Amino acid sequence: MGEMEPARKTHMNIVIIGHVDSGKSTTTGHLIYQCGGLEPRLLEKLEAAASQVGKGSFKFAWVLDKLKAERERGITIDISLWKFHTRRFSVTIIDAPGHRDFIKNMLTGTSQADAAVLMVSAAPGEFEAGVSRQGQTREHALLAYTLGVKQLLLCVNKMDLTEPPYSQRRFEEVVRGVSLYLRRIGYSPAAVPCVPVSGWAGENVTLPSAKMPWFKGWKVKRKEGFGKGQTLLEALDSLLPPVRPSNKPLRVPLQDVYKIGGIGTVPAGKIETGILKPGMNISFAPANLSAEVRTIEMHHEPLQVAFPGYNVGFNIKNIAVKNLRRGHVAGNSRSDPPAAAAHFTAQVIILNHPGFIKAGYSPVVDCHTAHVTCQFAELFEKIDRRSGEKLEDNPSVLKSGDSATVRLVPKKPLCVERFFDYPPLGRFAARDLKQTVAVGVIKSVEKKPAGVTRKQAQKAMLIK
């Protein structure tokens, strides 16, 4: 597999989503191990450490759950990034958490992905828990769709735990259940490969499984053509390579900012549009600061040029770590630099809200990697969500199922863009009451004049 020069392979970011304990980390760990992304020595070390704590069955998950806190709780908290090569792609796996309180991290991970693997457990009772109203399987699939992850792959895991083990009936039951609400969300089930696996036993992950002779393989029907195969690895290889807008101005939503001894400030994130090179002068919004890029790294390898889709860390001069944070956006100072939004107009669809939404309602808006409270300042018009026709002007309230054009005002500095110009920075989910209440796309943005924010930035520094 490693014969081909990895630099030439198309880069794919794939997020693994699904209910807690559906086996996301274990299956992904196994996949990376079988694709040669892990040294066997490391695995033996992890196995020894895991069995000491009495969690022997978690060894592949341990590969991903490097954080100490996670080792003790047995759950994935932050978004682990791992890399391996398939026949066609160089894949970065983003393993996103399934626990409710970690949905913020999950959103950050999903907004960086080109495709998603929805992991569903076939074990008795676990599938039902994941798709219940409180379960995360539905919400994760919905968020993936909203955040623009249009390619989905359904992985039915824990086939070794069905009654009887590797049961065809249970697999078909799970696929039917999931396909039903995938269609409701907007995915076409015909274009979603459904693959039965056991992540723990490694069955049907990279090689066809003798334990499931009934499984004749998955088939997909897409506009771009048909695909078929047997294993999870083949299903990943059948994904369509993403189209990357490298001719647009640079946009990098920051996922994290590190302070690295001897190097300095290192922001990290996925390049959504444009190209990043050392020596470039970069502006950060909404902080309104600029700096020169010294070096760029991806997976600990230095780069002379970074293209859209790359998850990179870049070292900058003269900006302290405390002045940048997750959710800020980097762009080229000389070509349409990013700016803070004073307010923006968006078309939203209200998904599930128990009451009525009026002007003044202030949910948390998750857009790219930012999570900022925004106020629905004005409700302009209610529209038919299918045809887009106007139904009424200035509605007084909105309820679940309504679609409307609204003006939103961020309560804290936020950088967003028109969906038409920069799609990844122009779609968002609004969250309240621990659930996604609305999703939307941004039609226009009123940006703050640069001078105002610079003064505010200086004031902020004085206050600190």
Chain mean position to CA 182: 17
Beta-carbon contacts of residue 443 (< 8 Å; ≥ 6 apart): 344, 345, 346, 347, 405, 418, 419, 420
Question: Is residue 342 within 8 Å of 353, Cβ to Cβ?
Answer: no
Residue 325 has pLDDT above 80, yes or no: yes
C-alpha–C-alpha distance, residues 239 and 295, integer Å: 32
Residue 287 has pLDDT above 80, yes or no: yes
Mean pLDDT of the 249-268 span: 90
Beta-carbon contacts of residue 179 (< 8 Å; ≥ 6 apart): 189, 192, 194
143-192 pLDDT, tens digit per residue, is 777 667 889 999 999 999 999 999 999 999 999 999 988 888 788 999 99
pLDDT reported for residue 22: 74
C-alpha–C-alpha distance, residues 204 and 248, integer Å: 40
H or E element at residue 11? strand 10-18
Which amino acid is located at 151 in the chain? Q
C-alpha–C-alpha distance, residues 340 and 284, integer Å: 9
pLDDT reported for residue 146: 67
Q: Tell me which residue of 108, 102, 80, 105 sits closest to 93, measured CA to CA.
A: 80
Token pair, residue 51, equals 């069995």
Band of the pLDDT at 280, cuts 50, 70, 90? very high
427 exposed, middle or buried (CB, 10 Å; 0-12, 13-18, 19+)? buried
Across 134-148, 288-302, 423-437, least confident range: 134-148
C-alpha–C-alpha distance, residues 195 and 214, integer Å: 12
Across 87-96, 103-112, 130-139, least confident range: 103-112
445 exposed, middle or buried (CB, 10 Å; 0-12, 13-18, 19+)? buried
Token pair, residue 262, equals 């001897």
More confident residue, 461 or 20: 20
Residue 2 has pLDDT above 50, yes or no: no
- CA atoms 100, 408, 287, 461: torsion sign: negative
Length of the chain: 464
pLDDT reported for residue 6: 41
114-123 pLDDT, tens digit per residue, is 888 999 999 8
18-32 pLDDT, tens digit per residue, is 877 777 777 877 777
pLDDT-above-90 percentage for the chain: 42
Residue 324 has pLDDT above 90, yes or no: yes
pLDDT reported for residue 382: 92
Across 135-139, 204-208, 306-310, 410-414, least confident range: 135-139
- CA atoms 248, 296, 66, 157: torsion sign: positive
